[in-house]
Amino acid sequence: MSVFAYPFMRIAIIGAGKIGFTILSALNKMSNVELIATGRSNSTLEKIKSIGVEATTDNNYAVSSSDYIILSVKPQHFPSVLKSVKSWEGKKVVSVMAGIRISTLSSLLKGSKVYRAMPNINAIIGKSTTALAEERDETVEKIFLQIGKVYWVPEELMDAWTALIGSGPAFIAEIIDALSLGAVECGMPRDLSYNAILDMIEGTVELLRKCKHPALLRDQVTTPAGTTIRGLMTMESEGIKSALIKTIEAAYKRSAEIGEQIDRKLRS
């Protein structure tokens, strides 16, 4: 009988790299959970052991002895994981690998129930915004709640999610850098402008959560003939909004393209 029948479960992380280890560390704080994680190098195994978790290079043992499996290797290393595991029968498998479709995974991991998760880098501080696809599962949700917020989405939204939420932190960092440099140009010290803008963004996000649409907040700040409208006019004439829309669209297309390439390779 599966250990999951008891108020206890065993979770295997296959590939405790950047994202796998982040998930592992968060799960390690949960009670009623036993963990095992895999890697190839000594340094990965030592890192796993350093937080008191069972470490192995043996993917087959990790999978066969666990109820839930989190697949967090790079897509190009997935074939080697496939070769190393004898059976996926009865396992619940959550793939965080970008691009590989549930249908492809299900056909390769025979007998398993497959889910996809797309977390982001903010998982490091427990603030990931993670998409889960596709059928709801309470335990899968509980696992990813340990690293932040969770949204269940249809799988067809995963590429848009990867663009907006996966790559999003990099886009936001770039925008913040530009705004901060703008203040430097106006004579403000870099550190002061950086810290001030981060605080301003925190406040703005809190306020935006109370607004139905960002334009409502914008209009409240926009005094006739004032400073904000002058800035907004510049944003408009420089095509900032259009550039940002295209940024997400380009990242979305690239995500879909990568997904198709990986899928084609795995199916061939």
Ligand X SMILES: NC(=O)c1ccc[n+]([C@@H]2O[C@H](COP(=O)([O-])OP(=O)(O)OC[C@H]3O[C@@H](n4cnc5c(N)ncnc54)[C@H](OP(=O)(O)O)[C@@H]3O)[C@@H](O)[C@H]2O)c1
Beta bridge partners of 94: 70, 115
Residue with tokens 């992380």: 13
Rounded CA-CA distance 21/147 in Å is 11
* Joined tokens for residue 163: 């663009």
Residue 175 or residue 258: which is nearer to ligand X going by CB? 258
Residue 265 near ligand X by CB under 6 A: no
Contact 143, 24 (CB under 8 A): no
Number of residues that bind ligand X (CB under 6 A): 28
Q: What's the one-letter identity of residue 14?
A: I
Q: Which of 11, 12, 16, 164 touches ligand X (CB under 6 A)? A: 16
How far is residue 93's CA from residue 120's CA, in Å, rounded to a whole number?
A: 19
State the amino acid at position 17 in one-letter form: G
> Does residue 121 interact with ligand X by CB under 6 A?
yes
3-state helix, strand, coil in the chain (%, to 5): 55, 15, 30
Q: Is 25 in the site for ligand X (CB under 6 A)?
A: no
Only one of the segments 72-80, 170-178, 192-200, 252-260 lies at the binding site for ligand X (rule: CB under 6 A); that segment is 72-80
Measured from the CB atom, the residue of 20 and 193 that comes closer to ligand X is 20
Residue 77 makes contact with ligand X by CB under 6 A: yes
- Determine the interface stretch with ligand X among 94-102, 152-160, 180-188, 247-255 (rule: CB under 6 A): 94-102
Residue 256 CA to residue 64 CA, distance in Å, equals 32
Residues that bind ligand X (CB under 6 A): 14-20, 38-41, 44, 59, 72-75, 77, 80-81, 96-98, 118-121, 166
Tell me the binding residues for NADPH.
59
